[in-house]
Amino acid sequence: MAELVNLMEQTVFNKIDEMWPNTEYCKCENCRMDIATYALNRLPSKYVQSLKGNMLCRFESRRIQSNIDVTVVVGKAIEVVGQSPHKN
């Protein structure tokens, strides 16, 4: 039974881990998930079957990053969540 994997999800988390440590904002798991949610709601999803996904993930995620400005959206998400954390 094949599963679907959203490559954008991994791309966003990679980007958060790259950019977030350089900020002074709260670093709790809630904020991390809020940032991911904010960014993923503003980016197109990119579904693949998980079997192919394992092989394609690295390649695809690099391609996604060059095609769409994930950095800008994740940067905005970090800022929005960081400036008013724990709203939920």
**What is the rounded CA–CA span in Å between residue 11 and residue 1?**
24
Cα(5)–Cα(24) distance, rounded to whole angstroms? 32
Q: Which is nearer to Zn ion, 8 or 36 (CB)?
A: 36
What spatial distance separates the first Cα and last Cα of the chain, rounded to whole Å?
Answer: 36
- Nearer of residues 32 and 63 to Zn ion, judged by Cβ: 32
Contact map string, positions 10 to 39, toward Zn ion, x by CB under 5 A: ----------------x-x-xx--------
Summarize as ranges the residues that interact with Zn ion (CB under 5 A).
Answer: 26, 28, 30-31, 85
